[in-house]
């Protein structure tokens, strides 16, 4: 709100001054004085009457001007009174507004101060949180390393069948290539074979008849070699997908897994045509199925297998079924 009261009052005063006519000063007429007992001249008497008449008319004229000036003053007084009243109202309004603004300024100042305090506190909290996050990240990374190490250890334990997996520290070389690790009890004559821990699971090596050394499977239940080497079976008519197979005629399969029909760890399977493994995570087919095998180099359906279990096999290329030479770290082969 803008106030123009001073300008309005000044303008009213100027207008009033210009409107007032101001009565003229009237001089008293000069009259002829008559002396008692002296005859008066008619001309002198008439002059006195004319002078008085003119004087009276001048007074009447001044009275009219004064009445006009009074009316003008009264009107101006009313206008000025209204202006003053309006300005007083505006001043009161401005005072209220100013008080409200002062209150708002004080409130805003307090709010800004409170916000500054909050920002400072949040900054401190953010710094503390960042430190906590860093500490938690370090802890998580450390735990992740521990978990990874434990998983590696579990996988290593699962890869071997003996509880004394850590005893497999002697490097075994077959035909000049490292094929796994063994442990000292190989020097006992009770078990004429070498237990072999490989990256694919446990196996055994024993002296062959037609070849110096033969790779066999490992019997986990007896901690012994598995001397059976059978033909490879397949789940398709083209004999492209090898499977581990056990029919119901062999008795109920003792397949224990943590998750139904899902293999928990790798297991080596040695067949006449090569080395395979049952891979961890493979799914066992417990339903009746058709299997095939090569007969005279022809993929032939085996109709006798009507029920049992089949598990997919994966061909291993870094192990062989037969070796010409076997060496053990730190020892001489005699």
Distance of CA 25 to the CA centre of its chain: 97
pLDDT digits (tens, 9 = 90+) for 136-189: 888 898 888 888 777 766 666 555 444 444 688 899 999 999 999 988 765 554
- Do 187 and 91 share a structural domain? no
- Do 182 and 66 share a structural domain? no
- Do 301 and 203 share a structural domain? yes
- Do 216 and 322 share a structural domain? yes
Q: CA angle, 252 as apex, 256 and 292 as ends, to 5°?
A: 100
Q: Which of 86, 105, 124 is the last residue of a domain?
A: 105
Residue 38 lies in a domain: yes
pLDDT digits (tens, 9 = 90+) for 83-138: 888 888 888 888 888 888 888 888 888 889 888 898 888 888 888 888 888 888 88
Structure letter (DSSP) for residue 160: -
pLDDT score for 177: 93
pLDDT score for 36: 78
- Do 189 and 89 share a structural domain? no
C-alpha closest to that of 269 among 210, 316, 332, 318:
316
Residue 205 lies in a domain: yes
Q: How far is CA 214 from CA 97, 170, 179, 242, in A?
A: 105, 19, 13, 21
Residue 240 lies in a domain: yes
pLDDT higher than 70, residue 299 = yes
* Residue 318's pLDDT band (cuts 50, 70, 90): very high
Residue 115 lies in a domain: no
- Do 85 and 184 share a structural domain? no
* Ramachandran sector of residue 193 (left: φ over 0; alpha: ψ -120 to 50; beta: rest): beta
Q: Which of 105, 120, 136 is the last residue of a domain?
A: 105
For the ranges 75-79, 95-99, 191-195, 224-228, the maximum mean pLDDT occurs at 95-99
- For residues 96 and 88, is the Cβ–Cβ distance under 8 A? no
pTM of this prediction exceeds 0.75: no
pLDDT score for 161: 43
Sole residue written with tokens 């059978």: 230
- Do 189 and 48 share a structural domain? no
Residue 165 lies in a domain: no
- For residues 101 and 109, is the Cβ–Cβ distance under 8 A? no
- Do 303 and 192 share a structural domain? yes
Element spanning 45, H or E: helix 42-159
pLDDT score for 323: 92
* Residue 4's pLDDT band (cuts 50, 70, 90): low
Q: Which of 57, 78, 105 is the last residue of a domain?
A: 105
Mean confidence (pLDDT) of the chain: 80
Distance between CA atoms of 271 and 234, rounded to whole angstroms? Answer: 12
* Residue 24's pLDDT band (cuts 50, 70, 90): low
- Do 80 and 189 share a structural domain? no
pLDDT digits (tens, 9 = 90+) for 217-271: 887 766 666 666 778 899 899 999 999 887 666 556 667 788 988 988 888 888 8
pLDDT score for 23: 55
Cα dihedral 99, 103, 104, 109 sign: positive
Per the model's pLDDT, the better-predicted residue between 235 and 39 turns out to be: 235
Percent pLDDT > 70 in the chain is 80
The number of distinct structural domains making up the chain is 2
- Do 297 and 203 share a structural domain? yes
Percent pLDDT > 90 in the chain is 14
Residue 81 lies in a domain: yes
Distance between CA atoms of 315 and 321, rounded to whole angstroms? Answer: 12
Residue 217 lies in a domain: yes
* Residue 3's pLDDT band (cuts 50, 70, 90): very low
- Do 96 and 236 share a structural domain? no
DSSP secondary structure, 179-199, as one string = EEEE-GGGG-SSS-SEEEEET
Residue 89 lies in a domain: yes
* Residue 1's pLDDT band (cuts 50, 70, 90): very low
Q: CA angle, 50 as apex, 44 and 51 as ends, to 5°?
A: 90
Query: What count of residues does the chain have?
Result: 334
Range of the domain at 46: 5-105
Cα dihedral 75, 76, 80, 81 sign: negative
3-state secondary structure at position 292 = strand
- Do 180 and 98 share a structural domain? no
C-alpha closest to that of 123 among 164, 131, 76, 273:
131
* Residue 272's pLDDT band (cuts 50, 70, 90): confident
């Amino acid at each position: 709100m803008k106030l123009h009261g001073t300008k309005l009052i000044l303008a009213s005063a100027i207008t009033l001054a210009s409107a007032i006519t101001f009565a003229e000063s009237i001089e008293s007429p000069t009259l002829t004085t008559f002396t008692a007992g002296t005859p008066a001249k008619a001309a002198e008497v008439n002059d006195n009457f004319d002078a008085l008449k003119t004087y009276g008319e001048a007074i009447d004229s001044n009275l009219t001007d004064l009445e006009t000036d009074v009316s003008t003053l009264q009107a101006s007084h009313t206008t000025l009174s209204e202006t003053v009243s309006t300005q007083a109202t505006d001043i009161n309004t401005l005072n209220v507004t100013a008080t409200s603004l002062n209150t708002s300024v004080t409130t805003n100042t307090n709010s800004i101060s409170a916000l500054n305090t909050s920002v400072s506190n949040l900054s401190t909290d953010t710094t503390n949180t960042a430190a906590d996050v860093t500490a938690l990240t370090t802890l998580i990374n450390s735990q992740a390393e521990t978990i990874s190490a434990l998983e590696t250890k579990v996988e290593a334990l699962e890869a071997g069948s003996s509880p004394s997996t850590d005893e497999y520290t002697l490097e075994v070389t077959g035909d000049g290539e490292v094929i796994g690790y063994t442990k000292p009890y190989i020097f006992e004559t009770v078990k004429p074979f070498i237990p072999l821990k490989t990256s694919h699971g446990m196996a055994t090596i024993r002296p062959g008849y037609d070849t110096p050394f033969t790779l066999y499977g490992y019997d986990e239940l007896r901690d012994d070699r598995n001397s059976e080497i059978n033909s490879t079976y397949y789940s398709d008519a083209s004999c492209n997908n090898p499977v581990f197979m056990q029919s119901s005629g062999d008795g109920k399969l003792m397949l224990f897994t943590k998750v139904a029909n899902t293999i928990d760890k790798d297991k080596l399977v040695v067949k006449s045509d090569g080395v395979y493994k049952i891979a961890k995570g493979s799914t066992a087919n417990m339903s009746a199925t058709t299997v095939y095998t090569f007969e005279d180099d022809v993929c032939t359906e085996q109709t006798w297998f009507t029920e049992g279990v089949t598990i997919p096999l994966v061909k291993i290329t870094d192990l062989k079924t037969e070796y010409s030479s076997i060496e053990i770290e730190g020892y001489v082969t005699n």
